[in-house]
Amino acid sequence: MARVAVVTGGTRGIGKAIALALNKAGYRVVANYAGNEEKAKTFEKDTGIPARKWDVADFGACMDACGQIAKEFGPVEVLVNNAGITRDATMRKMARESWDAVVDTNLGGCFNMCKAVWEGMLDRGFGRIVNIGSINGQAGQYGQVNYAAAKSGIHGFTKALAQEGAAKGITVNAIAPGYIDTDMVAAVPPNVLEKIVARIPVGRLGKADEIARGVAFLVADDAGFITGSTMSINGGQHMY
């Protein structure tokens, strides 16, 4: 039977590309979304991949959703923690709410979702988790203390959980995307983005498919010796 894969934030941007790639690779994919109902419905209609709404920052909602998915499709054996938001502002202007929202969603969501599937993965002796970090969690970024802290946290979280899963058939890896051509990056002021792209050796923004390719590689059954690693996919912008 096809393995069930959950992709959070899976109906748009990088998450959508991941959901499509895993679907193509033969997984039974369920895509999570939090807000954009209209895009999620279009996604379901266009791809045939079921989309389910819950907020990854809400621990109870993650537990309930994974329980429901297990009943409907089977136990979650592949988890891609992709859901993320930005609330960019310099420290002077950043509201406490912007800190909480980004840390609770990007890092808290990663904990909540892993917690919801972890026992089952341990019981079955198999699991694949990929957490989407960021170049900005590795290198920092002006105007992103919240996002950089959360994404940096994801990289630490990945290495810690990988140690707990290693002898149990569960791999936990991270991908650190650079600047990818998505709505999130399109929201960066054009004059700022222009300077960022000028610093990318490959000379362009990345494509969502180029991240999805890495995820498909890491979740494969025969990738069991790769754990605790961070795959940087950033056009050479930060060689780490």
Question: By the criterion CB under 6 A, which residues form the site for ligand CAA?
Answer: 86, 88-90, 93, 134-136, 141-144, 147, 177, 179, 184-185, 188-189, 192
Least Å distance, CB 235 to ligand CAA, is: 11
Q: Please state, in angstroms and rounded to a whole number, the distance separating the CA atoms of residues 161 and 150.
A: 16
In this complex, which beta carbon is closest to ligand CAA, that of residue 48 or of residue 189? 189
Q: Please, is 100 exposed, middle or buried when counting C-beta atoms within 10 Å of its C-beta (0-12, 13-18, 19+)?
A: middle
Least Å distance, CB 219 to ligand CAA, is: 21
Catalytic residue among 27, 33, 142, 147: 147
In this complex, which beta carbon is closest to ligand CAA, that of residue 25 or of residue 193? 193
Cβ-contact 132, 121 below 8 angstroms: no
Q: Please, is 181 exposed, middle or buried when counting C-beta atoms within 10 Å of its C-beta (0-12, 13-18, 19+)?
A: middle
> What are the Cα distances from residue 59, in Å, to 106, 112, 116, 195?
13, 5, 8, 38
In this complex, which beta carbon is closest to ligand CAA, that of residue 13 or of residue 165? 13
Q: Is 27 a catalytic residue?
A: no
In this complex, which beta carbon is closest to ligand CAA, that of residue 188 or of residue 218? 188
Cβ-contact 11, 18 below 8 angstroms: no
Q: Which two tokens stand for residue 97?
A: 């709410």
Least Å distance, CB 21 to ligand CAA, is: 19
Q: Please state, in angstroms and rounded to a whole number, the distance separating the CA atoms of residues 135 and 40.
A: 27
Least Å distance, CB 187 to ligand CAA, is: 7
Least Å distance, CB 9 to ligand CAA, is: 12
Q: Which residue is nearest to ligand CAA (CB)?
A: 143
Q: Please state, in angstroms and rounded to a whole number, the distance separating the CA atoms of residues 77 and 125.
A: 10
Cβ-contact 36, 234 below 8 angstroms: no
In this complex, which beta carbon is closest to ligand CAA, that of residue 71 or of residue 93? 93
Q: Which residues are catalytic?
A: 147
